Structure 1
C-alpha cells in the first residue's frame, strides 16, 4: 500500500463501505473489462505529471471542460486497478502503476477545484477557456456550474474504490469537493423544460453530483438534506405532463412530452432522452455498490420511456436512430450501451440485455480496428467535432470509456442481468408503427428496415436497411433536400439548407405502415411551395413523392431533393459494416468510392437521369422524374460525425421562375437490403401512374398500390399505366384492363397518403393484340370479372398468392365471372 501527500489533516466524516463481496465475473464483466484494460494502455500515453503539488497528474491535457478528461480517466484507472483479471501485458504497466495514476489524478482534480488553494489552477492546454483556471463552476451560470455533477461523481467513485490507499489529506480534499457541490445545489430547485432543450439532462447530472455526497458521506451532518435533494432532482429528471396533473408528490417539472419524446438542440434527440436513465442512474449505481435498496425516484418513468422510444428505435449496434437527425458523431455505441446496461441490470429488461450485447460487439470491433487501443478514431485529434468548443474525436475518448466503465460496475455489483430476448420476442415487441404526435415523428420498424417521417423541428424522412446507420444516415435534409436562392443568405427559418417547419401535415396510421404528407414553404416569402408525401410499406420498402410550385418570380441557385446520407467507414474488425468502400450501380454504371476522413478533396460525380441506383448491394432506389443523380464522395468536413457520403437522387440544379410554375413530379421507391439485380427488377415492375389530377400521385409496385393526394382537396382519382404483359395485380375496389392499359380509380381525402395491398393477380392467355376490355371489382373474398369487349375470353386465371390458390374459367361475351376465395 502506498500513501500519497503530506498526511496533513484527515476526513471529517466516515465513508460508506463498499458492498462486501463482488458479484462473480460474468460474460459482460469479462468483455467490458478487457476493453477497458486495452483503453488504459492508450490513456496512459495521455497522462502527464503536474509539478505544482506532490504526487499529482492529469490526463488528456488536463484542461478540458469541467475536469471531465481527468475525472473520467481517473475512475477508469481506479476500477481497472482494483478489480478484474488484470493483465499487465495488455495494460502496458503494473496494476499498482494504474492505481498510482488514478490517485495522482484525484489529487490534481482536488487541488485545481474551486475548494483547492487559490494558486492551484489547471495546466495550459489548447482550450483557452479552461487553461490556467479552476474548475467547479464558481462564477458560472447554472448550466456550466451544475454540469460538474458527473465529474464530482467520477471523482468520488474513484476515491471510494481507492479509499484505503489515500492519505488523510487527499480524503479531506475529496470530501471538500463533494460537500461544495452538494451544498450549492441541494438548496436549488430542479429545472423545468421539454421543448428546444429538455432539462432532463441538467436535472440528472445535478442529481448525480448531490447523490455522490449523500451516498458516500453518511456521517456528514448535512447528509440527509443532500439525500432528499438528490432524490428530488432525480425524480424530476424524467417527468411527464400527467405527473403534474396527477400531482405526483415531489414532481415540479415536465421534461418529456406525453409521447415520451424530448428535445435538445431544438429537435427530438435520443442521446438526451437516454440521459434521464443514465445520469441519475449514477446515483443509483452508488447505492448498488453500497448494497442498499435503490429509491424509486432514481428510476421513475424509466420503463415506459425506454419501451416507447429508445427500445424500438435501436438499431443493429444498439444505437437508437436519431429520427430528426444527428449533430454528434455516429459511433455512440458506448453511451447507448450504458443506457441498455441500466435497463438490463436495474430493470431486468430482456431486450436491453440484447441491445447491450449488440452495442458491445461493435465497441469491441471499433477498438480492435484501432492499433492504439482507443475507442473511436486513431487520428482523433484531426477529427473536429465543434471547433469553437475545442472538441475533437480524441476529446470524446474519456467519455466513451466512462460509459463502458459504468456498465462494468453495474454488472460487477448487480450481476449479469437478464437473459437476452430471442429474435422472435424482440420483433414482436418492437416491430410495427410507433406514433409520436408531440415529438412530431412517426416510425415504422420491421425486421429488415426502419422508416420514419418527421414533420416538426426537421421535416425529413429516412429509411434505413438492416445495417441501420452503417448503411444510411439520417441527414437533416434526408429526402426533403436543400434549396439555395440567389441573393439570399440561407436561413433555417426559411426552410432552405434544412426544413425546420411545415405549414401543414397529415399522418395516416395504417395497420402495418403509415402515410404522411406535408407542405413546406421554402425561401423568404414562401417563394416555393414544396409538397411531399412519404409512405412506409409493410415489407420495409418506402415511397417518397413531391410536387414543387413556384409562387412568385425567383432565381434558385440549386435545388436538390431525394438526398440520402451514405455511411462509408473503414474499420478492419467490422467487416461487412465498415469495409471502407461504397459501390454505386445503375444501368451501364458501376463506380466504387473509398471512404476516409481528410487527406484529399471531395469528389462529386454527376450521372444524369437514372431509372434506378443501388448502393453497395445494400439498398436500392427506383426513380421517377429525376433530373440528375449525383454522388458526393466526402472527405472534407466542417464538423466530424463519421465518414459520410451524400447521394442526391434528384439534383434539379439552378432554376429561374418568371412567375407561377409547377415542376414535374419526382418520386422514389426505396428498397432496403436489395441487391443491384433486385433493384433493376423492381424498376421494371414499378411504375408511376398517369392521372386526371396533377396533385394526386399514384405508383404501383410489387404487391402494392401507393397513393398520395397533395391537391389540397378531396379527389376522385383515375390513373392508368400501360401494361404489355399478360397479368396484372388486383386491389380492393374497381379496376379496368382495356387492351394494353390498366386504370385504377379511387376517392381520397386531402392530405391522404397510404397504400393498398394486392389481393389477387389476374392472368390472361398471352395475346399480342390486347383486344380484351375487362372491368374487375374486388370485394372482400370475391372477384367479379366483366367482359366489356363483347368478344369474351376463353380462360381467365385469378391467383390468391397468400393461399396459393388458382381458379380458372372462361367469360362469355359481355358476361361476368364471379370467383369466391
Structure 2
C-alpha cells in the first residue's frame, strides 16, 4: 500500500508539470525552445573552450565526404551501422549545430560560413543519419541500417540534440526523420528496465546514455501523448545510473519519492567508486557527465531539472578529483586500458562541478585541462586536438568537440565566481575500491589490491613520468616459460591522516611468494620492501620485480621526447621509442626528477619502448632483475630488496 502511495505521489508531481511544459514551453515549431541568458561568469574560460571547438570542428570538416557521390548526404567516416561509423558522425553533427546555434562564431577559425555549414554539412549529415536508421529508407554500406544496438540510444540522442539546436532551419523531411529516429529509440528504452551490476562492469554509463535519448524525445516532441511516460522513464533511468547498495534503505527524498522506493540495484560502491573493464576505472566514474547533460538540457529549455540527474554525482566527482594530477590528467591506481592523454575529455566534468556543485577545486582542474587542450591543439595545423595515434578510440576526435560544447554550456549556468583551490594533501581510502592514495606536497602515492595489485608514485607535476602499467610496483616472474598470474593472499592496512603502511602477501602463481611492505609518509617518500620466497621447487626464466612503467613519448605536450636515466653515477639520455636497453648493478636510479634509492646493489634493467601500446610509449624500469634460468628449492629466498622513491 505504501509503495502504491509513493508511486501516485511521483506521478502526481510529474504529470501536472508535463502539462505545463507542453502548454507553456512549446515552441512554434513544436519543439521546446532554447533559453540561454548571458552569464558574465567564466567568460574567459568559455571563450577559450569555444575556440577549441571551432578549431576541432575545422579538423572534422576535413574528413567530410559525400555519401555515394550524393551531396545531399554527408559523413566523416566510412559508411557502416556500428559504433565506429555512426557515433562520430552524430557527435560531429551535434558539434556543428552547436556552433551554428551558440557563441560568437568565427568562420575563419571554422573554415566555412554559418550559412554554408548549415546547408552543405549539417543538413546533409542529419539526412544521412535519419535515412540510414532502421526507421529510414536506406541501409549503410555494410548492408545494415543502424539502430536497436547496445549504444544506439546514445547516437540517436546526439543526432536529436543536433536537430534541436537548428530545428527551425531544417527541412520538413529531416524534422520528421529525426523525430522518428529519436522516438523509436526512446520507446525501446522506456519500455525496458535499467540493468545493474556492481562488480567488474558497472551499468552506470550505459544507463546514463540510454536516458539521454529519452531526454532528446522530450525536447523534440513536447506535445506527444507519450511525453509523461517518457519523462517518468527518463527519471527512472537517470536515477538508476549511480545508486549505491546503501541506497536500498536511503530515506532521502528525490523527485518527491524516497530513494529506497526507487532502488532497483546498485551500479557504484558505497564509497562512490565503480568498476568497469574489470578495474576501478576513473574514466567511467566520469561518465556521469551524461546525466549532467540531461540536467543542462532541462535548464536550456526552461524546465526545472529532475533531482535524479545529479543524484550522487558530487560525491563521485569528489573521488575523481582526488585522482587528478596538475596537468588535468588522471593517476590510474588500477591501470588504464584506454589512452591516458585525454585531459580535454574531462573538462565537462570540471565545468559541471563548477557550475552545479560550486566546487573551487574544479576551477583549478578546468583551467589545467584547458591549458593542456590548447597545447595539444597547437601541434596540429588542421585544429585536431589529438595527435595521430594518441587516442585509438574511433570516436575520439568526433566526440571530443561535443564534450567541449557540453563544458561550454555547463558554464553558462555557473552561479558564482569561485577562486581556484588546490587539492588538499592527505590520505583518501576507498574501502570498497581497495585503493589507498596519499597526496603529499610534491608527490602522489597510490596502492591498490583489488582486481589489480599496483604501487605507484608520481610527481605532482605536469609530467607524470610514471605510466599506469598494471604491474607497477609488483613486477612479473616467469616460471617454466610462463608468466605467472599475480594473486593477493592477504593484506593489512594502517593509515593516519598523512601516511599509510600496507603489508601484503602476494603470490606469483603457485611458485613464488612476495611479502611486501609499502610505507607512504607525509614528506613524499614511498618505501617498498619486498622478499621473494620459493613456495615449491621451481625453475624461473626471468624475475623482474619492483618494476615501473616510465612514460617516454615523442610528442606529448608535457614530455620532452627523452628521459634522463642515471644509474649510480652513469648518466644516459634515453630517446623516446628508441628500444635502448641499459643494465647495471646499482644502488640508486634516477629518471628525470624521480629518485629510486635501493641502499644496496641491485640488478637494474631499463628497456625503452619501441611501439605504441594503448596510445602511449611505456619504457620499463626493473629494480630487481634476475635474468636467465635459475633453479630454486622450496623455501629458498630469491631476493630481499628495499627501495625508497622520492620526487625532487
Give the TM-score normalised by the residue count of structure 1: 0.71
Do the aligned partners of residues 92 and 264 (structure 1) sit closer, same or farther apart at CA in structure 2, a change above 3 Å counting? same
State the partner residue of 1:448. Answer: 442
The residue that corresponds to 2:313 in the other structure is: 302
Q: Can you list the C-alpha shifts for 1:103-137, whole angstroms capped at 9, x where unaligned?
A: 211111111111111xx1224xxxxxxx3422112
Residue 34 in structure 1 maps to residue 48 in structure 2: no
Other-structure match for 1:536: 520
Contact 2:330/2:340 (8 A) holds in 1:
no
1:346 equivalent in structure 2: 356
Cα distance 1:505–1:20, how it changes in 2: closer, same or farther (>3 A)?
closer
Residue 564 of structure 1 is matched in structure 2 by: 548
Q: 2:587 aligns with which of 592, 602, 611?
A: 611
CA pair 368-54 structure 1, distance change in 2 beyond 3 A: closer
- State which of 150, 155, 175 in structure 2 corresponds to 1:151: 155
Q: Given that residues 29 and 168 in structure 2 are in contact (C-alpha distance below 8 angstroms), is that contact kept between their aligned partners in structure 1?
A: no
Taking the aligned partners of 1:98 and 1:366, their CA distance within structure 2 comes to 25
Higher helix share: 2
C-alpha separation in 1, matches of 2:548 and 2:419: 33
Instruction: Identify which of 109, 114, 119 aligns with 2:129.
Output: 109
Matches within 5 A, 1:414-563: 414-415=413-414, 418-423=417-422, 426-427=423-424, 431-467=425-461, 470-488=464-482, 490=483, 494-495=484-485, 499=486, 501-523=487-509, 526-563=510-547
Correspondence for 1:254: 266
Secondary structure of 2:305's counterpart equals coil
Moved over 3 A (4+): 20-25, 51-54, 415-418, 624-627
Q: Distance in 2 between matches of 1:272 and 1:417?
A: 28
Structure-1 separation of matches of 2:527 and 2:498: 15
1:591 to 572, 577, 580: 572
**1:468: how far off?**
5.7
Task: Determine the C-alpha separation between the residues in 1 that align with 2:540 and 2:401.
Answer: 47
C-alpha contact (below 8 Å) 2:476/2:508 kept by paired residues: no
Alignment of 1:647 with 2:633, yes or no, is no
Q: Report the counterpart of residue 207 of structure 1 in structure 2.
A: 211
Whether the 8 Å CA contact 2:87–2:395 is kept in 1: the answer is no
In 1, Cα distance between the equivalents of 2:49 and 2:283? 21
What is the alpha-carbon distance in structure 2 between the residues aligned to residue 73 and residue 17 of structure 1?
Answer: 22
Q: Quick one: distance in 2 between partners of 1:437 and 1:422?
A: 26
Separation in structure 2 between the aligned mates of residue 238 and residue 571 of structure 1, nearest angstrom: 37
The answer on whether the counterparts of 2:481 and 2:541 sit within 8 Å (CA) in structure 1 is no
Mapped contact 2:611–2:617 kept (Cα < 8 A):
no
Q: 2:193 is paired with a residue of what secondary structure?
A: coil
Residues 46-66 of structure 1: CA distance to partner in whole angstroms, max 9, x if unpaired?
Answer: 111114866110013343516
For residue 278 of structure 2, what is the aligned residue in structure 1? 266
Task: Name the SS of the counterpart of 1:628 in structure 2.
Answer: strand
What TM-score comes out, normalization by structure 2 length?
0.90
What do the CA deviations read for 1:226-279 (whole angstroms, capped 9, x no partner)?
A: 11101111011111111112352312120111111110111100111111x212
Residue 622 of structure 1 is matched in structure 2 by 597
Structure 2 CA distance, aligned partners of 1:421 and 1:640? 32
- The CA deviation at 1:587 is 2.7
Query: Residue in 2 aligned with 1:684?
Result: none
1:581 aligns with 2:562: yes
Partners of 1:460 and 1:479 within 8 A in 2: yes
C-alpha contact (below 8 Å) 2:88/2:394 kept by paired residues: no
Go from structure 1 to structure 2 and tell me whether the alpha carbon gap of 1:256 and 1:170 turns closer, same or farther (over 3 Å shift): same
Q: Is the 8 A contact 1:626 1:649 kept in 2?
A: no
Q: Does 1:217 align with 2:221?
A: yes
Matches within 5 A, 1:149-228: 149-228=153-232
Say which of 67, 77, 95 aligns to 2:96.
77
Contact 2:507–2:513 (CA under 8 A) maintained in structure 1: yes
Aligned residues: 609
Distance change in 2, residues 1:159/1:208 (3 Å): same
Q: Deviations over 1:575-594 (max 9, x none)?
A: xx221111112333111122
Aligned partners of 1:82 and 1:99 also within 8 Å? no
Unaligned runs of at least 5 residues, structure 2? 1-26, 251-258
User: Which secondary structure state, in structure 1, belongs to the residue aligned with residue 553 of structure 2?
Assistant: coil
Partner residue, 2:30: 14
Report the Cα offset of residue 18 of structure 1. Answer: 0.7
Structure 2 partner of 1:98: 117
Alignment correspondent of 1:778: none
* Counterpart residue number, 2:105: 86
Report the structure number with the largest CA radius of gyration.
1
1:55 equivalent in alignment to 2:72: yes
Deviation of 1:78 (Å): 1.1
1:156, distance to aligned residue in structure 2 (A): 1.1
How many angstroms apart in 2 are the aligned matches of 1:421 and 1:77?
A: 31
Taking structure 1 as reference, are residues 417 and 407 closer, same or farther at Cα in structure 2, changes over 3 Å only? farther
- Is the Cα contact below 8 Å between 1:569 and 1:595 reproduced in 2? yes
Shift of 1:619: 1.1
SS in 2 for 1:196: coil
Separation in structure 2 between the aligned mates of residue 48 and residue 96 of structure 1, nearest angstrom: 18
**CA separation in 2, counterparts of 1:153 and 1:420?**
35
Question: How far does the alpha carbon of each residue in 1:347-386 deviate from its partner, in whole angstroms, 9 at most, with x for none?
Answer: 2211112211111110111111223311111x33xx6x7x
1:58-117 deviation digits (Å, cap 9, x = unpaired): 013343516111001111111123332222222222222322312211111111111111
Whether the 8 Å CA contact 1:57–1:104 is kept in 2: the answer is yes
Q: Does the Cα contact within 8 Å between 2:574 and 2:580 map onto a contact in 1?
A: no
Whether contact under 8 Å (2:363, 2:421) holds in the other structure is no
Unaligned runs of at least 5 residues, structure 1: 1-10, 124-130, 138-144, 386-391, 675-821
Greater displacement, 507-516 / 312-321: 312-321
Partner of 2:7: none
Corresponding residue SS for 2:488: coil
| SS of 1:629 mapped into structure 2 | strand
Q: Deviations over 1:16-60 (max 9, x none)?
A: 111054545811220011111111221111111114866110013
Distance in 1, matches of 2:466 and 2:126, equals 42
Relative to structure 1, is the Cα distance of residues 542 and 433 closer, same or farther in structure 2, using a 3 angstrom cutoff? same
